[in-house]
């Protein structure tokens, strides 16, 4: 059952899931409908015991898609998917049922065993119906509106497993959703942090401190900002995808200053409200065994669904001069590498401090070259103390990328950037200062069109022009069970459209 749910009128976002009942270990596929200006949606899965799972969904032009992988250790019970756009309000979402066929763990007080007759009247079972979109020949969907529609589509096996009754988009057909028009001035997430530690006041009073965050292995995800008077820092970033580490550092700290940067939790304050208990009966055993067997044997066939590309980052405005070190004789020290392999670079001491210099582009060939101070990075992470570069092990470095152009990081300007890319792309062997912090980061999930297991096919982001049709690219002849086709979404004016059909 595909559900589009709102806990109240005027909710900030609507979350759609590919079905309502899951086996622990399955993936919850999500499609998001968000108001104007949203660029990231925070989603959190709650049971009556508290939060169980967190994730992010990237949003462009009011639409986004992503997924949450249910851990194999998740207890049996009902869960609510709660969402909040950055800067918006928390909205309660669909209640989904999770049944763990691997352990006997249950949400405390969250499971009731009932008789078959009582279970038969439980749950919302939609009739074959539609509004604004209809079914065509075979597994096809037709837009019957006079306007374009944005929908998500799911094809699942139909069984006796049911979730609690709740509103769906069919009940909200007369409700206009928030505007889905995008805001081109916003892209990605505003990452919030704060200065912490006994020296934070000294750092703020100096007026020279710059805060930096960077993702190891990415030469584009490096951002700087200036702390506010209250010690808070905001970084305007592109959406960062997948599970990453984020390096947080403070540059130009006063001598002897002891402080660091701490990331703030964007999920703070999200609540789920009341969650009804999960009801089960003995006759579900066959369906549960079938679903569990599908989970063990199925291989998901997934294809990434494109969102609009992020804006061009400053490193990508120019092509780098790249040296693959395996193409040359390997040298034991970085100063030897600079002398023997990279004529555009030199490392010198100035006032007892190591500084890396790069020949600036446009230096006239028949005159002495113009050397400029460069920003050094290892796997895309700035290294202000360049003595760490001078003593770094060259055997760990795969390539050196040289950008001989002027760049600005915070208040500091550099005449070039040198990025040392390691084989592992995670800064191996780099001894970071005590004020640097590395945090685990659960980035946005990539939107996928997927098929496998109990969900034969799912697509989170489909747009159809008036009269246009879409045929699901699956062969359902060997499904071995009745099927349920569902499509839900809205037209460009925000009017709800839906299709529910048993096959």
What phi and psi values does residue 220 have, to the nearest 5 degrees?
-110, -25
Distance of alpha carbon 258 from alpha carbon 377, whole angstroms: 23
The model's confidence at residue 317, banded by pLDDT at 50, 70 and 90, is: low
Architecture, CATH, for domain 3-183+268-307+447-502: Sandwich (2.60)
The model's confidence at residue 8, banded by pLDDT at 50, 70 and 90, is: very low
Distance of alpha carbon 456 from alpha carbon 472, whole angstroms: 10
Q: By the 8 A CB rule, do 112 and 48 touch?
A: no
The model's confidence at residue 405, banded by pLDDT at 50, 70 and 90, is: confident
Give residue 1's pLDDT: 36
Q: Which residue has the higher pLDDT, 291 or 146?
A: 146
Overall average pLDDT of the 356-360 stretch: 89
Give residue 165's pLDDT: 60
Give residue 3's pLDDT: 40
In the block, tokens 């206009």 appear at 176
Q: List the structure tokens of 257.
A: 């200053």
Give residue 341's pLDDT: 96
Same fold, 3-183+268-307+447-502 and 314-430: no
Q: Which residue has the higher pLDDT, 64 or 13?
A: 64
Give residue 168's pLDDT: 59
Number of Cβ within 10 Å of residue 285's Cβ equals 10
* Rg of the chain over all Cα atoms, to the nearest angstrom: 27
Give residue 411's pLDDT: 77
Distance of alpha carbon 407 from alpha carbon 418, whole angstroms: 11
CA proximity to 323, closest of 341, 336, 349, 346: 341
Overall average pLDDT of the 131-154 stretch: 90
Ranked by mean pLDDT, which of 9-13, 157-161, 258-262, 272-276 comes out on top? 258-262
- The tens digit of pLDDT for each residue in 427-447 reads 999 988 888 999 999 999 888
Residue 4 has pLDDT above 60, yes or no: no
At a CB cut-off of 8 Å and minimum separation 6, what does 91 contact?
6, 7, 8, 11, 12, 13, 14, 82, 83, 84
In the block, tokens 């460069």 appear at 374
The model's confidence at residue 298, banded by pLDDT at 50, 70 and 90, is: low
Give residue 286's pLDDT: 87
Give residue 215's pLDDT: 94
Q: Which residues of 388-416 are buried (b: 16+ CB within 10 A; e: fewer)?
A: bbbebebebbebbbbbbbebebbebebbb
The model's confidence at residue 108, banded by pLDDT at 50, 70 and 90, is: very high
The model's confidence at residue 9, banded by pLDDT at 50, 70 and 90, is: very low
CA proximity to 337, closest of 273, 377, 390, 264: 390
Q: Which residue has the higher pLDDT, 180 or 384?
A: 384
The model's confidence at residue 169, banded by pLDDT at 50, 70 and 90, is: low
Q: List the structure tokens of 285.
A: 């055993």
Q: Which residue has the higher pLDDT, 77 or 408?
A: 77
Give residue 310's pLDDT: 58
The model's confidence at residue 148, banded by pLDDT at 50, 70 and 90, is: very high
- The tens digit of pLDDT for each residue in 37-67 reads 788 999 999 999 999 999 999 988 888 999 9
Q: By the 8 A CB rule, do 488 and 169 touch?
A: yes
CA proximity to 172, closest of 133, 141, 144, 131: 131
At a CB cut-off of 8 Å and minimum separation 6, what does 78 contact?
47, 48, 95, 96, 97, 98, 107, 110, 163, 164, 275, 276, 277, 278
- The tens digit of pLDDT for each residue in 211-248 reads 999 999 987 889 999 999 999 999 999 888 899 999 99
- What mean pLDDT is reported for the chain? 85
Overall average pLDDT of the 101-115 stretch: 91
The model's confidence at residue 300, banded by pLDDT at 50, 70 and 90, is: low
Q: How many CA atoms lie within 13 A of 340 on its CB side?
A: 13
3 state SS for 37-80: CCCEEEEEEEECCEEEEEEEEECECCEEEEEEECCCCCCEEEEE
Q: List the structure tokens of 100.
A: 């763990």
The model's confidence at residue 183, banded by pLDDT at 50, 70 and 90, is: very low
Q: How many CA atoms lie within 13 A of 32 on its CB side?
A: 37
Distance of alpha carbon 249 from alpha carbon 261, whole angstroms: 6
Q: By the 8 A CB rule, do 53 and 70 touch?
A: yes
Ranked by mean pLDDT, which of 177-191, 344-358, 391-405 comes out on top? 391-405
Percent of the chain with pLDDT over 90: 49
The model's confidence at residue 369, banded by pLDDT at 50, 70 and 90, is: confident
Q: Strand 63-69's sheet: what is its strand order?
A: 3-5, 14-17, 27-33, 63-69
DSSP 8-state secondary structure symbol assigned to residue 386? T
Lowest mean pLDDT among 189-198, 232-241, 371-380, 479-488: 479-488
CA proximity to 458, closest of 496, 488, 501: 488
Q: Which residues of 119-132 are buried (b: 16+ CB within 10 A; e: fewer)?
A: beebbbebeeebbb
Give residue 50's pLDDT: 94
Give residue 71's pLDDT: 94
Distance of alpha carbon 191 from alpha carbon 401, whole angstroms: 27
Q: By the 8 A CB rule, do 491 and 132 touch?
A: yes
Chain centroid offset of residue 429 CA: 28
The CATH number of domain 314-430, selected from 2.170.130, 2.40.50, 1.20.120, 1.10.287: 2.170.130
- Positive/negative CA dihedral, 85, 91, 97, 98: positive
Domain boundaries in the chain?
Answer: 3-183+268-307+447-502, 190-263, 314-430
The model's confidence at residue 172, banded by pLDDT at 50, 70 and 90, is: very low
């Amino acid at each position: 059952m595909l559900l589009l749910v709102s806990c109240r009128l005027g909710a900030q976002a609507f979350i759609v899931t590919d079905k309502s009942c899951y086996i622990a270990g399955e993936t919850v596929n999500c499609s998001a409908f968000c108001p104007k200006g949203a660029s990231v949606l925070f989603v959190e899965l709650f049971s009556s015991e508290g939060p169980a799972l967190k994730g992010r969904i990237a949003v462009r032009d009011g639409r986004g898609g992503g997924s949450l992988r249910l851990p194999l250790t998740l207890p049996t019970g009902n869960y609510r998917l709660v969402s909040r756009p950055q800067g918006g309000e928390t909205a309660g979402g669909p209640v989904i049922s999770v049944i763990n066929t691997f352990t006997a763990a249950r949400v405390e007080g969250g499971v009731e065993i009932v008789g078959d007759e009582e279970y038969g009247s439980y749950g919302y079972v939609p009739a074959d119906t539609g509004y604004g979109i209809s079914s065509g020949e075979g597994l096809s969907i037709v837009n019957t509106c006079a306007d374009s529609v944005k929908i998500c589509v799911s094809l699942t096996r139909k069984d006796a497993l049911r979730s609690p009754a709740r509103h769906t988009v069919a009940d909200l057909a007369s409700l206009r959703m928030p505007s889905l028009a995008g805001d081109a001035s916003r892209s990605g997430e505003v990452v919030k942090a704060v200065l912490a530690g006994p020296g934070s006041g000294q750092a703020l009073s100096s007026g020279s401190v710059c805060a930096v965050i960077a993702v190891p292995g990415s030469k584009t995800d490096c951002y700087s900002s200036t702390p506010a008077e209250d010690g808070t820092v905001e970084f305007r970033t592109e959406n960062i995808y997948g599970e990453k580490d984020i390096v947080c550092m403070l540059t130009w700290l006063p001598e002897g200053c002891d402080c660091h940067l701490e990331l703030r939790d964007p999920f703070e304050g999200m609540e789920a409200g009341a969650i009804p208990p999960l009801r089960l009966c003995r006759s579900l055993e066959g369906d549960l065994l079938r679903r569990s067997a599908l989970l063990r044997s199925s291989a998901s066939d997934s294809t990434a669904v494109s969102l609009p590309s992020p804006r061009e980052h400053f490193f990508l405005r120019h092509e780098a001069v790249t040296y693959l070190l395996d193409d040359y004789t390997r040298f034991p020290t970085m100063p030897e590498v600079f002398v023997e392999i990279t004529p555009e670079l030199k490392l010198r001491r100035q006032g007892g401090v190591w500084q890396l210099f790069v020949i600036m582009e446009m230096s006239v060939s028949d005159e002495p070259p113009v050397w400029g101070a460069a920003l050094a990075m290892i796997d895309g992470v700035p290294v202000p103390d360049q003595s760490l570069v001078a003593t770094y092990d060259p055997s760990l470095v795969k390539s050196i990328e040289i950008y001989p152009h002027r760049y600005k990081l915070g208040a500091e300007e550099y005449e070039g950037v040198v990025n040392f890319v390691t084989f592992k792309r995670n800064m191996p062997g780099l001894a970071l200062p005590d004020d640097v912090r590395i945090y685990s980061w659960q980035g946005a999930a990539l939107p996928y069109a997927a098929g496998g297991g109990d969900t034969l096919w799912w697509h989170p982001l489909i747009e159809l022009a008036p009269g246009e049709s879409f045929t699901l690219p699956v062969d359902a002849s060997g499904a071995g069970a009745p099927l349920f086709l569902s499509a839900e979404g809205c037209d460009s004016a925000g009017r709800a459209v839906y299709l529910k059909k048993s096959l």
